[in-house]
A = this chain, B = another copy of it.
Amino acid sequence: MNNGKKRYWDMLKVHESVACVLYNTSRDVLIFVKQFRPGTQLKEDFIPYCAVFVYRALSTGSTTTSIEVEGQSVDWDKVSPNLGITLELCAGIVDETLNLNEIVKKEVLEECGYEIPSENFQRVTSYRTTGISGSKQTLFYAECTDQMKISEGGGLAEEGEFIDVVEMSIPQVRNLIQDEQVTRPATLLFGITWFLMNKV
């Protein structure tokens, strides 16, 4: 209530999340995931708020779907699908009552296919986004071996996840910091620089 008058604000429910810098010691590679994120696909200043709806429309094959942005239609044929692909740390939403080590262990198994004991996940730190949301992410570090690879990974089909597992050598990872052709978030860059400083 403000001076007796009720006002409304749009609210966004944002879950806490976990992410993991995952290092395969058998082959000296870091493990990342590639995801489809339609929000990164449009030009700089027009970003879909509800990207997931656009994505659903596209993935259900409704090719006649048109998106209008301030009265102008977005021509999907002129938008490279590669632009919507991002390289990220393995990560997941905290939507369960499990502790964070159990949740990150579960995400690494689902997305990357490695079965790692939950006590092997080292908590690095946590941080918050400062844009419109403010959600907290806790970063972990874990080492794995080829013997721990028990499935393909790729995410849960029933949750509609489209995830590719990507392996990168240490020199490739160093290059990735400067490589602006690859769409990647600051969280990945922080994870990489933290790893290079503390584990190499």
Contacts and interface: CB of A to CB of B under 8 A. Distances in A.
Interface string A27-56: 000000001010111101111111101100
Interface string A185-198: 11111100110110
A57 interface: yes
A134 interface: yes
Contacts of A185: 127-130, 186
A4 to B, nearest CB: 8
A111 interface: no
Interface in A161-197: 177-178, 180, 183-190, 193-194, 196-197
* Total identical chains: 2
Interface stretch (A63-71, A98-106, A113-121, A140-148): A63-71
B193 A177 contact: no
Contact of A133 (B13, B62, B86, B132): B132
Contacts of A3: 62, 64
B180 A125 contact: yes
B40 A130 contact: yes
Contacts of A88: 130
Contacts of A48: 9, 11-12
A45 B66 contact: no
A175 to B, nearest CB: 11
A9 to B, nearest CB: 5
A97 interface: no
B41 A134 contact: yes
Contact of A62 (B2, B47, B65, B183): B2
Interface of A: 1-3, 7, 9-16, 35, 37, 39-42, 44-51, 53-54, 57, 62, 64-67, 69-70, 86, 88, 125-137, 177-178, 180, 183-190, 193-194, 196-197
24 contacts: A2-B64, A3-B62, A3-B64, A7-B65, A9-B54, A14-B45, A14-B47, A15-B45, A16-B45, A42-B134, A49-B133, A129-B131, A129-B185, A129-B186, A130-B183, A131-B133, A137-B186, A186-B187, A186-B190, A189-B194, A190-B193, A193-B193, A196-B197, A197-B197
